[in-house]
Every structure is written in structure tokens, then in C-alpha cells.
Amino acid sequence: MHISLIAEKIFTIAGWPITNSLLTAMIVVGVLTVVSVVAWRRFTLVPNMLQSSFELLIEQFLDVMDSVLGDRHKSEKYLPIIVTIFLFVMFSNWFGLLPGVGPIGLMEHGVVGEHDRLVPIFRAPSADLNFTIGLAIISILSVNILGVLAIGFWKHMSKFFTLKNPIYTFVGLLEFVSEFVKIISFSFRLFGNVFAGEVLLTIVGFLVPYVVPLPFLFLEVFVGMIQAFIFAMLTLVFVAMATSEETAH
Amino acid sequence: MNPETAKFMAIAFVMGVGTIAPAIAIAIIGSRSAEAMGRNPEAAPKIQTAMILALAFAEAIAIYGLVVSLILKFVE
């Protein structure tokens, strides 16, 4: 049994190493793009199956966002980034659970004294720390950019750097540090959950190959959705905090 | 104690000690939200959303411990 913490390189394009996680993430992006374009092209007054499911998803998300932002106009404005994060993370996690992700791979001949080992072609994207850190940086950057766009550069910056009062200066510096802590906590939460799920499924599969892994597989489907929802919801809460002006002072 | 044994002891210790506080936190969140839903069944969906978010935060602490122990286990 071999478990690799880092994503393995499978081939290179013009000197750029392509890891199996990156390849899987690109496939997920491609599938999502094609499905969205198909749903958007066949936009009709009487919705078909695909359009109805998209409309249901968007309605549900708008309701959830209303309860956080308190304003339908704001919800519609920030819907794209939140739902994109949710769909991308959820389908990435679910893609990692498909049969064939993991067992199918290329044999790599080991150096003298080592065993040959299998390098999987596909790997759940979130089981690679680079993916989750990248997503977390995108999320926090967009939170700050949306904050600047909503209330202005100086007002947004005065949340972090202010000389009005020594206490606010200190609190502002803590806020500034916590922006970086958010990136770490975002990325490690997603990575830890998904990678732990992979390890759990591998180990249970080795212990009892039939029937017993089923509940664990179901648990992983649930965890994949919940983690995507949490990633999106936390981004939403941070957007809500960044785009509202401080009135308490 | 040879280094290999120390490594396995460290892995077990990280998981054992690191899950105590999240377990307590999850117990409190679960019992309080069940109580709240029992008192006010109409607010159940809202309480559930808040509960799952809080659960994820509490669980994250255990996940950090898990990541550390996985790194200890699988990185040579």
C-alpha cells in the first residue's frame, strides 16, 4: 500500500510539470464549462431538466445568501463567485470518488533497490495542497477586492491600518494577520478533509474489499458536499464583512 | 526508544490529544442545537445551517492534527 502526500508528476508540457491533481482539476473545469454553456445556449421560457436544476440551485443559493447579506441586490451581485467556488470544489471532490480515480495509472520503474510503483493518472484535486492554497488565495484576494470596490480603497484599508486610537491600531493589525491565517485555515481544512477521506477509503478497501467500504464512500460524498458548502459560505461571510461599512465606531 | 518507535508514538499522541478539544466542542454544539431545535422547531433550518458551520470550525482543529500526523506518517 503506497500513499503519496504530494501529487505526482505524470508528464510535462514545454517544461511545465503536469501533476495528476492538475489534470483532474482541468477535466473538472472542462466538464463544468461544457455543461454551463449547454445550459445557457438552450435557455427557454419553459425550462427543461438541465435548466430547472440550475434554476433550483441558484434560487436556493440566493435564499441562503439573502439570510447572510440581507439584500437581494447584493446577493445577485456576489452570486457568481460564491456558486463558482461551491460547484468547482464539490465536483472536484466527487470526481475523486469515481471508480478508476486512483487505481488507473502508469507503472514507474523504481531506482535500483526500490519496488516499481503505480503513479495514478487521476487524483482528487483537493488532495493536493497546491490546489487548496491557490483556491484560498483567490477567495481571500477577491474578498478584499470586492471590499475595496464596495466601500472604497481608503475605507477598506482603514480596517487594517488606522491611527485613530491605539486599541484600533492593534485590532487592525490583528485583522491584517488574520487575513493570512484565513488562507492557511481555508486550505488546510479542505486538504485535510479530502486527503484523510482518500486515506480512509484506501485503508478500508484493503481491510475488507466488499460491502464494508460503502458507508465510508457515502460519508465521503457527504463530506465532499459539506466542505464545498463551507468553503463557499465562509467566503460569503467574509465578503459580507468586507463590503459593509463599519458603523460601530 | 529508537527513532521509528518515537515517530509512531508522536503520530498516536498528536491524534489522541488533538481530538480531545474538538470532541468537546462538537458535543456542546450538537447538544445545544438539538435543544434549540426542540424549543423552536420552526427555526430548525436556520439552526441546522449555523450548526453545520460551527461543526466545521470545530472539526477543522482535529483536521489540523490529522494533517500533521499524516505528514509524519507518509513523508520520509
The total of structural domains in chain A comes to 1
Task: Name every residue in B having a CB less than 8 A away from some CB of A.
Answer: 46, 49, 52-53, 56, 60, 63-64, 66-67, 70-71, 74-75
pTM: 0.84
- Are B63 and A229 in contact (CB < 8 Å)? no
- pLDDT for residue A248 is more than 70: no
State the pLDDT at residue B21.
93
Give tens-digit pLDDT for A154-184.
888 888 888 888 888 888 888 889 888 889 8
* Minimum-distance CB partner of A195 among B53, B70, B75: B70
Report the run of H or E that residue A194 belongs to, with start and end: helix A166-207
Give tens-digit pLDDT for B31-69.
999 999 999 988 887 888 788 878 878 888 888 888 888
State the pLDDT at residue B24.
95
Give tens-digit pLDDT for B2-23.
888 998 999 999 999 999 999 9
DSSP string over B14-43 = HHHHHTHHHHHHHHHHHHHHHHHHHH-GGG
Closest CA to A102 of A20, A12, A214, A9: A20
Per-residue CA distances from A161 to A78, A149, A157, A164 (Å): 26, 18, 6, 9
- Are A192 and B66 in contact (CB < 8 Å)? yes
Within a domain: A3:
no
Within a domain: A4:
no
Within a domain: A80:
yes
User: What CA–CA distance (Å, rounded) separates A121 from A24?
Assistant: 8
State the pLDDT at residue A112.
60
Q: What is the CATH number of the domain that holds B34?
A: 1.20.20.10
Give the CA radius of gyration of chain B: 17
Give tens-digit pLDDT for A52-104.
888 898 898 898 888 888 888 888 888 999 999 999 999 999 998 888 787 77
Looking at the complex, report in whole angstroms how far the Cα of residue A8 sits from the nearest Cα belonging to chain B: 14
The total of structural domains in chain B comes to 1
* Minimum-distance CB partner of B67 among A64, A191, A230: A191
ipTM for the predicted complex: 0.73
- Chain B residue with CA closest to A184: the answer is B64
State the pLDDT at residue A247.
53
State the pLDDT at residue A249.
45
Range of the domain at A201: 9-243
State the pLDDT at residue B61.
85
Long-range contacts of A37-40 (CB under 8 A, 24+ apart): none
* C-alpha neighbours within 13 Å on the C-beta side of residue A64: 24
Range of the domain at B67: 3-74
State the pLDDT at residue B20.
94
- Are A227 and B64 in contact (CB < 8 Å)? no
State the pLDDT at residue A17.
85
Within a domain: A1:
no
* Minimum-distance CB partner of A188 among B49, B64, B74: B64
Give tens-digit pLDDT for A23-59.
889 999 999 999 888 888 877 777 778 888 888 988 9
- Are A227 and B46 in contact (CB < 8 Å)? no
State the pLDDT at residue A135.
93
* Minimum-distance CB partner of B63 among A67, A189, A234: A189
- pLDDT for residue A241 is more than 90: no
Q: Which of A6-10, A110-114, A197-201, B7-11 has the lowest mean pLDDT?
A: A110-114
